[in-house]
Amino acid sequence: MANLDERARANMDVALEEACRELPHGGDHNLRKKIAQKLLQSARRGNTTLSGLSVVARTALMEATKQKKSA
């Protein structure tokens, strides 16, 4: 994450927290890690706004929870 500025890192953190807020105990480690990886990929491609990262986080959460239910 060294190539991302402080604002981008803060936006990633806020997006992750907002996406996991409704989960019991804020979500488990593996789920949060998957979402964080998606956020990092997106931010490295230039998507560093809070609104953009929030969409990525919510989408990653929906995908991850859908995969858990179908497994």
The C-alpha atoms of residue 42 and residue 45 are separated, in whole angstroms, by: 5
Identify the domain containing residue 47 by its residue range: 6-70
**Count of domains forming the chain:** 1
In the chain the first and final C-alpha atoms are separated, in Å, by 32
Residue with tokens 């979500």: 27
Asked if residue 1 is part of any domain, the answer here is no
Asked if residue 59 is part of any domain, the answer here is yes
Is 50 in contact with 29 (CB distance < 8 Å)?
Answer: no
Asked if residue 36 is part of any domain, the answer here is yes
Asked if residue 23 is part of any domain, the answer here is yes
Asked if residue 21 is part of any domain, the answer here is yes
pLDDT digits (tens, 9 = 90+) for 11-33: 999 999 999 998 999 999 999 99
**Please, what's the b/e burial string for 28-60 (b: 16 or more CB within 10 A of its CB; e: otherwise)?**
eeebbebbbebbbebbeeebbeeebbbebbeeb
**pLDDT surpasses 60 at 1:** no
